[in-house]
Amino acid sequence: MLTPLGANSLVRLIEGPQHAVSACAHEADRPLVLLTGGLDYPARTADDFASLTASSSHRLYALMATGLLTEPHTLLITGGSPDQAIPESRVVGQLALRLGVPAERIQLEEHARSTRDNARLSAAMLLPTSPKITLVTSALHMQRAQWAFTQQGFDVCPQPVDWAYVPPTGLGYLLPQSSALLKSEQAIHELIGLIAYRWR
């Protein structure tokens, strides 16, 4: 667990092999549902982009890189909390505007505090008019997120981004590193979360 070899083996087990943009993601009737990944500190303004965690910003940047945002999809950004004066989805939405996504294509869900909330509150906004979606989140998080959204009745086209797996790079791959322990912790969190969601 302390070495890149152990951590990345766990990550690869959850993420699976990397792949290009899925064909279903290009279907015009599928809104893009982007899950935010939190804030590092309470945002002072809606354009306080430095407050976004790496997961929140990387997911949006990686989605931009797929080219899907140049297509006429609605983009629903989900994530926040009643405790946040400025929800993370609002900050990500402002960043999407700065990156050129038209305002009329952006919708915000500002109250979800968990992946289960993301799915439930997105369903309240999109079902039954848009039962088919393209789900965008970190590859490590995708299995659990896809399960939650499927349970709400969505036809989910998974579009994982922000891959965590790093292939072998030499002897350093066998040496203990604090970053490897963090990656192992994240992978175990996702495994336990997926088991818990399915058990419930």
pLDDT in tens, 21-61: 889 999 999 999 999 999 999 999 999 999 999 999 999 99
The H-or-E segment that residue 34 falls in is strand 32-35
CA distance to 1, 181, 183, per residue, from 175 (Å): 11, 11, 14
What is the pLDDT at residue 9? Answer: 92
* Helix axes of 139-151 and 4-15: crossing angle, nearest 10 degrees: 30
- What's the rounded Cα separation, in Å, for the pair 116 and 123? 11
* 68 inside domain: yes
CA distance to 6, 32, 110, per residue, from 24 (Å): 33, 11, 27
User: For the chain, what is the domain count?
Assistant: 1
- Tell whether the model's pLDDT for residue 198 goes beyond 80: no
* 185 inside domain: no
- What's the rounded Cα separation, in Å, for the pair 110 and 118? 9
What is the pLDDT at residue 165? Answer: 87
pTM: 0.90
- What's the rounded Cα separation, in Å, for the pair 10 and 4? 10
Range of the domain at 150: 30-165+190-199
* 78 inside domain: yes
pLDDT, tens only, 66-90: 999 999 999 999 999 878 899 999 9
* 4 inside domain: no
